Structure 1
Amino acid sequence: MRKYEVMFILKSNLEEEQRKQVVEKFKGIIETNGEIEKVDEWGNRKLAYPIEKLNEGYYVIMNFKADKDVPKELDRNFRISDVVLRHLIVNIEEK
């Protein structure tokens, strides 16, 4: 299993309950073939530039271990989700 870090930005105008459901959905995708090490919710932050006419986004960072297929499935789900503004998945190398 490899170590990964994913950061995604959700629309800031979501209600808290919707936001929790989205985060749990992505946690569930990871937990099918991996394990979550840490979830860090930064909350609403100002974006560097407007995205979809929004100036703020809700930032979430997750560290996890998983098989190589999990990031592909995560990426697919991020792309089809209407509430995700941006996402980035990074493979963390052991040193």
Structure 2
Amino acid sequence: MNKYELTVVVSANVEDEVRVNTVEQVKELVARFGGVISNVEDCGKKRLAYEIQHMKDGFYYFIKFDADAAAPAEIESRIRIMDNVIRFLIVKEEA
């Protein structure tokens, strides 16, 4: 298994409950494709470097997980179509 870090930026224009549900959906996706989450870090609301879809702020989450090599591609394809996620990135951590 490889170690990965998933960064998710959730829209600041949604209710708190919707934001929490969006993060839960992302965590369920990781688990569905064989990932084992080791840490979820909520960094709160931060200013974006540039406007994305007329938004200037977003809520940042960092999710560390272990998974097989095929899992990140599957997770990315599902996150890409989520409405409230404005940006995401999965990177493999060095051993």
Pick the TM interval, shorter chain. Answer: over 0.9
| Unaligned runs of at least 5 residues, structure 1 | none
Superposition CA RMSD, Å: 0.9
Task: Report the Cα distance in structure 1 between the residues aligned to 2:73 and 2:14, rounded to whole angstroms.
Answer: 25
> Could you state the TM-score of these two structures normalised by the residue count of structure 1?
0.93
> Which residue does 1:61 correspond to in 2?
62
State the alpha-carbon separation in 2 of the partners of residues 71 and 93 from structure 1: 15
Amino acid of the structure 1 residue aligned with 2:56: N
Query: How far apart in 2 are the matches of 1:34 and 1:82?
Result: 22
Q: What is the number of equivalent residue pairs in this alignment?
A: 94
SS in 2 for 1:80: coil
Aligned counterparts of 2:29 and 2:70: Cα–Cα separation in 1: 11
2:7 counterpart of 1:7 = yes
Q: CA deviation at 1:21?
A: 0.9
Structure 2 letter corresponding to 1:39: V
In 2, Cα distance between the equivalents of 1:13 and 1:74?
24
Q: In structure 2, what is the equivalent of residue 21 of structure 1?
A: 21
Structure 1 outlier segments of 4+, above 6 Å:
none
Report the secondary structure of 1:68's partner residue. Answer: coil
